[in-house]
Amino acid sequence: MKSSFSDIIKSETPVLIDFHADWCGPCKMLGPILKEVKEELGDKVKIVKIDVDRNQPLATKYQVRGVPTMILFKNGEQLWRQSGVLSKEEIKQKITSA
């Protein structure tokens, strides 16, 4: 069964949403960084990738104007958002302080 977006972001575990696009160069750079973040933090974070071209209503709802855009949610609340590529350490710091 597929969870709805609102169910996913209501998690007590921080959820990092990566709004990306297949044609976006910086998005391709961010992918491996997020994979390392997940490997290092394990169950302390959920990382969900959302293709803005396939999910335009969701991208519009969260006012994603550029990709990549990362939004961190916990208990349904937006805690942080950032557009562009960040280092693994910067992303981990944002997640662990959530």
- Residue 48 contacts residue 17 (beta carbons within 8 Å): yes
The catalytically annotated residue of 15, 27, 86, 98 is 27
The reply to whether 40 belongs to the active site is no
The catalytically annotated residue of 10, 11, 13, 24 is 24
The reply to whether 24 belongs to the active site is yes
Q: How far is CA 3 from CA 8, 21, 30, 31, 41, in A?
A: 6, 21, 24, 22, 22
- Residues annotated as catalytic are 24, 27
